[in-house]
Amino acid sequence: MSFQNVTVAIAKGRILEGAKTLWQQSGLLWPVDEDSRQLWFAPSPERPGMLIARARDIPTLVGMGIADLGIVGLDVLEEYPNNHVLQVADLKFAQCRVVLAGQKNQWPEGPTRIATKYQRIAQTYFTIHRHPVEMVSLSGSLELAPVIGLAPYIVDIVDTGNTLRQHQLTEIATILESSARLIANASHWRTKPELEHVRHLLQHEE
Q: In what order do the strands lie in the sheet with 180-185?
A: 40-41, 49-53, 7-11, 69-73, 180-185, 85-90
How far apart CA 110 and CA 146 sit, in angstroms, is: 17
Q: Least Å distance between CB 127 and ligand ATP? A: 22
Specify the residue, 68 or 75, whose C-beta has the smaller distance to ligand ATP.
75
36 interacts with ligand PRP by CB under 6 A: no
Q: What is the side-by-side order of every strand in the sheet holding 170-178? A: 133-137, 112-116, 153-158, 96-102, 170-178
75 binds, among ligand ATP, ligand PRP, none (CB under 5 to 8 A by kind): ligand ATP
Q: Can you tell me which of 4, 14, 32, 192 binds ligand ATP, judged by CB under 6 A? A: 14
Name the one range near ligand PRP by CB under 6 A: 4-12, 17-25, 152-160, 179-187. 152-160
- The verdict on 73 binding ligand ATP (CB under 6 A) reads yes
Q: Is 75 in the site for ligand ATP (CB under 6 A)?
A: yes
Residue 69: CB minimum distance to ligand PRP, A: 23
**Of 119 and 163, which has the nearer Cβ to ligand PRP?**
163
Residue 114 to residues 131, 154, 155, 163, 174, Cα–Cα distance (Å): 12, 5, 7, 18, 15
Using CB under 6 A, which of the segments 1-9, 86-94, 158-166, 182-190 binds ligand PRP? Answer: 158-166
> Where in the chain does DSSP place strands (E)?
7-11, 40-41, 49-53, 69-73, 85-90, 96-102, 112-116, 133-137, 153-158, 170-178, 180-185
Residues contributing to the site for ligand PRP (CB under 6 A): 140-141, 143, 156-163
